[in-house]
C-alpha cells in the first residue's frame, strides 16, 4: 500500500519520498540526499540486481535500498557470454518489468554497450528513453574520461547518474578479462583520479568493482558521494550483488566476492525433477488437481 502524500510532494520529481507498507514495516523510496546522509551516518546501503517482475518484487519485499537493472542480464537471463550484445531495447524491456515489480524502490538502470559513446545527441536520446520508459531514478555508465563528460551532460539534462569504475564488464576485452583492477601504484592512482572526475561530473554514486579493499576504502574516504562495492571489500558505503549469484540460481562457479545465501539450483532443480517423475509415473495430476463434471453432460457419439 502506498501512502497518500501532500500535493507539494506529488508535484516533485520521481525522486521524492514515497512511503509504502510491507506488513507493519514502512519502507522509503530514498533519494539522492538520503543516500548522501546514509554515507555521512555510516549506514550501509544494500543494493541487488533484478531483471524481471518476480525478482524485483522479492527484492523490494526484502527491504533493499536500491535495485540495479544491470546489463549483466545479458549473461544471467539472456544467455550471452558477456554484456556486450545487450541493447537499449533489452534494457527497456527488463527495466519496465522491474518497475512493475518494485515501484516503490529506487532503481538504477544500466546504459548498455556503446549507447553513450558515439555522440552527445545519441547519448541524450538513449538516456531519455531509458529514463522515461523504465521508471528509473538514475542511469549507470561505465568508465571515465569521455564518459565523465557524458555524465555531466545527462546531469545537466536532469537525469541522475551513477558511475562505475574498476572492472568494467563492457570493457572486459580491453582489460584482458575479468581481473582485479588497481593492484599497483600506477593503476590505483588512475582509479582515484577517475573517481574524483566522476564525482566532479555530478554523479550521485559510484560503483567500485573488483578493486583491492584498501584502495576502495581510500577512494570512499576521498569522495563525498556514496560508493557501492562489488568485490571491493567491506569499507564501501554499500554493497551490490547479482540476484542470481546470491541465490545460486542458474549460475555455475561463483566469483570469490559472492556469498551464497541459498542453493536455488538445487532447490528449484529438485522441484522440476519431481514434477517430471510424477508426470511419467502418473502420480500427477491427482484428483484434487482435477475439475469434474456430471457424465450426463458429455456429448453423445
Instruction: Give the Cα separation of 111 and 126 in Å (integer).
Output: 8
Pairing of strands 238-241, 45-49: parallel
**Residue 106 host element (H or E):** strand 106-110
C-beta separation of 158 from 164 below 8 A: no
Q: What separation in angstroms does the CA of 156 have from each of 57, 116, 166, 200?
A: 32, 15, 25, 13
Task: Confirm whether residue 12 is marked as ligand binding.
Answer: no
Cell of 222: 576521498
Task: Confirm whether residue 140 is marked as ligand binding.
Answer: yes
Cell of 17: 519520498
Instruction: Give the Cα separation of 140 and 112 in Å (integer).
Output: 9
Say which of 8, 60, 209, 221 is annotated catalytic: 209
Return phi, psi of residue 219, to 5°: -60, -40
Instruction: Give the Cα separation of 53 and 65 in Å (integer).
Output: 17
Q: For residue 46, which of 60, 26, 25, 32 has the smallest C-alpha distance?
A: 60
Task: Confirm whether residue 221 is marked as ligand binding.
Answer: no
Contacts of 154 (CB under 8 A, 6+ apart): 123, 124, 127, 139, 141, 161
209 is catalytic: yes
Annotated binding residues for 3-methyl-2-oxobutanoate, as ranges? 71-72, 110, 140
Annotated binding site: 71-72, 110, 140, 142
Specify binding-site residues for Mg(2+). Answer: 71, 110, 142
Active site residues: 209
Amino acid at each position: 500500500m502506498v501512502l497518500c502524500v501532500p500535493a507539494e510532494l506529488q508535484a516533485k520529481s520521481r525522486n521524492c519520498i514515497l512511503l509504502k507498507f510491507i506488513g507493519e514495516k514502512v519502507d522509503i523510496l530514498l533519494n539522492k540526499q538520503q543516500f548522501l546522509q546514509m554515507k555521512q551516518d555510516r549506514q550501509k546501503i544494500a543494493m541487488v540486481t533484478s531483471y524481471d517482475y518476480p525478482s524485483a518484487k522479492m527484492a523490494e519485499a526484502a527491504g533493499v535500498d536500491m535495485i540495479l537493472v544491470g546489463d549483466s542480464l545479458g549473461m544471467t537471463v539472456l544467455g550471452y557470454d558477456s554484456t556486450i550484445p545487450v541493447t537499449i531495447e533489452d534494457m527497456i524491456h527488463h527495466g519496465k518489468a522491474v518497475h512493475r515489480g518494485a515501484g516503490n524502490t529506487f532503481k538504477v538502470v544500466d546504459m548498455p554497450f556503446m549507447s553513450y559513446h558515439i555522440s552527445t545527441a545519441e547519448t541524450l536520446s538513449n538516456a531519455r528513453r531509458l529514463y522515461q520508459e523504465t521508471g528509473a531514478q538514475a542511469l549507470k555508465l561505465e568508465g571515465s574520461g569521455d564518459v565523465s563528460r557524458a555524465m555531466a551532460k545527462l546531469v545537466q539534462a536532469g537525469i541522475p547518474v551513477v558511475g562505475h569504475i574498476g572492472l568494467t564488464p563492457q570493457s572486459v576485452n580491453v582489460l584482458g578479462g575479468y581481473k582485479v583492477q588497481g593492484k599497483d601504484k600506477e593503476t590505483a592512482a588512475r582509479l582515484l583520479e577517475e573517481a574524483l572526475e566522476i564525482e566532479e561530473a555530478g554523479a550521485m554514486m559510484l560503483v567500485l568493482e573488483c578493486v583491492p579493499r584498501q584502495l576502495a576504502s581510500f577512494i570512499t574516504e576521498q569522495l563525498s558521494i556514496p560508493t557501492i562495492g562489488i568485490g571491493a571489500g567491506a569499507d564501501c558505503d554499500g554493497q551490490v550483488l547479482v540476484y542470481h549469484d546470491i541465490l545460486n540460481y542458474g549460475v555455475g562457479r561463483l566469483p570469490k566476492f559472492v556469498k551464497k545465501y541459498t542453493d536455488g539450483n538445487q532447490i528449484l532443480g529438485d522441484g522440476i525433477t519431481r514434477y517430471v517423475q510424477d508426470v511419467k509415473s502418473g502420480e500427477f495430476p491427482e484428483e484434487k488437481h482435477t475439475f469434474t463434471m456430471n457424465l450426463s453432460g458429455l456429448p453423445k457419439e
